[in-house]
Amino acid sequence: MQGDVGFGGYILPIETVLVVLGLLVGIGLVVSAGLTLGLSVYRHRRDERADRVRPDVQDALLERAFSPDPNWDDWIDTLSATERQVAEDLLAEYLRELDGSETDSLKELGAALGIPERARSDLERGHKFVRLQALTWLIRLDDPEPYRAASYGPETPPERASVARLLSQTGELISPRQGLELLLAGATEEFSVFGQDTLYRLASDDPDALFEIATEQYDAWPPALLTQVLLVCGQLGSAVRTADISWLTASLEADDEGVRAAAASALGGFGWRPDLRDSTFFARATDDPSPRVRGAVYEMLGAWGDHEALTLLVYALVSEDDPRALVRGTNALVSRRDRIDADEPAVLGSAWEWSSEHASYDGVARGRTRAVGE
C-alpha cells in the first residue's frame, strides 16, 4: 500500500515509522546535549581546581628552580594529580619563555614528571597530534633519547620538521644536509611557520646543500612549498657562492605567479652573479604579465643596485601602467637614488615624488638627521 513501509516481514504505516525515527533523533539529541553539558561542567571544575592550586605550585616551582639542589623527585611525590598537571603546564610556559642555563634545572623537572617516558610511548602508539605533542616536549627538554629509543619514524610534514629541529638543536645530525633531506624528502605540502623556520635554520648552516636539493627536487614541489623554499633562499644570497641557481631563474617561468614573484625576490641577493647579466633574462623578467611579479622584479633590480640594474629599472618603470607595481619600483629606486643621475627619475612623475617624500618622512621618523637625497 502507498504510504506503508515494509520492515522485518511486517507492513508498518509511514506515520509509525516517522514517529519512531523522531523519537530516536530526539533521544540522540538529548544524550548528546547531556554529554556536552557534563563535559563542560567537568572541565570547568577541573579548571577551577587548577586555578586554586596554581599560585602555590608556581611559588614552589620557582623557588626550587633557582636553588642549588631542587630535589624535584621528592617535591613531585608530594603533589596531587591536579598539582602535577599545573606543574607541567607551568614548565611548558617557562621553557617557551626562557633559554640558556636558566632552563637546565627546569629540564630536570621534566624528567621528574616522567615526560620523556610518556613521549616515547606516545611516539610509538599515539595518533599524529599526540606524536607531534610528544616531539614538542622533547624539543623543549633538548632530549633526543626517547625519539632514538622509540620504534617510530616521522610520517607527516609537521613531524618531519619537529624531528629535524630536535636532532639539529641537540647536535644529533651528521650535517645540516641530513636535516634538510629529512625535511624535504618526499615533501608534498607547504610547511607550517615552525617548519619554515626550521628550514631556514638548517639552510643557514649549509646554504649550498639546500640549493643542491632544490636543483634536484624543485619541479616536483607544489607551488606553496616551492614559494616557501624560495623565500628562504632569498635570505641566503650572500652566503651562496658556487651553487647552481638555474632552478631559481627557471622558477621565473612557473605558471604560478606567487612562485614567480618569490623567485624574483630570491634573486635579489644574487646580483653579483654574472650568469644573471643577460638581456634575454632582463626582458623576460620585466615583461611578466603579472603586476605582482613585475613589482618583485623591480625590487630585485633595486636590491642589485648597480648602474646597469638601475638603468633597466628606470626604463621599465617608464612604461609601467599598474599603480602598485609602479610604486614598488619607485620605492626600490629611491633607496638607490644616490647612484643614478638626478634628472633620470623626473620622467616617473607623481609616483617618484610620492616615494621620495615617503622615504624622507621615514628617515625623519627613524631619527635620521637628514632626509633622503640631502
Interval 74-124: pLDDT, tens: 999 999 999 999 999 999 999 988 877 778 899 999 999 999 999 999 999
Q: Report the amino acid identity of residue 304.
A: W
CB 317 within 8 A of CB 298: yes
Q: Which domain holds residue 127?
A: 115-150
- Tell me, yes or no, whether 319 lies in a domain: yes
pLDDT, tens digit, for every residue of 179-190?
A: 999 999 878 889
Residue 357 within any structural domain of the chain: yes
In a domain? residue 329: yes
Does 31 fall in a domain? no
The residue ranking higher by pLDDT, 219 or 366, is 219
Distance in angstroms (rounded) separating the CA atoms of residues 14 and 9? 15
Which of these ranges, 19-23, 215-219, 342-346, has the smallest mean pLDDT? 342-346
- Of 349 and 90, more confident: 90
Which of 364, 351, 270 shows the shortest CA–CA distance to 316? 351
Reading the block at residue 284, the C-alpha cell is 623576460
**Span 144-173, mean pLDDT?**
93
Whether pLDDT at 243 is above 50 = yes
Q: State the average pLDDT over residues 203-214.
A: 92
Query: Contact at 8 Å (CB) between 184 and 213?
Result: yes
Distance between CA atoms of 164 and 91, rounded to whole angstroms? Answer: 23
User: Does residue 316 fall inside a structural domain?
Assistant: yes
| pLDDT over 80 (residue 146) | yes
Residue 363 inside a domain? The answer is: yes
> CB neighbours of 274 closer than 8 A, spacing ≥ 6?
none
Percent of the chain scored above 90 by pLDDT? 54
In-domain check, residue 131? yes
pLDDT value, residue 337: 77
Domain edge (last residue) among 150, 174, 196: 150
Domain count within the chain: 2
The amino acid that residue 154 corresponds to is P
Q: Please report where in the chains the cell 629611491 appears, as a residue.
A: 334
pLDDT for the residue numbered 372:
43
CA distance 195 to 43: 32
**Is residue 255's pLDDT more than 80?**
yes
pLDDT band at 343 (very low <50, low <70, confident <90, very high): low
Q: Give the pTM.
A: 0.77
Q: Which residue has the higher pLDDT, 213 or 337?
A: 213
Helix H or strand E encompassing 118: helix 115-125
Residue 311 forms part of a structural domain: yes
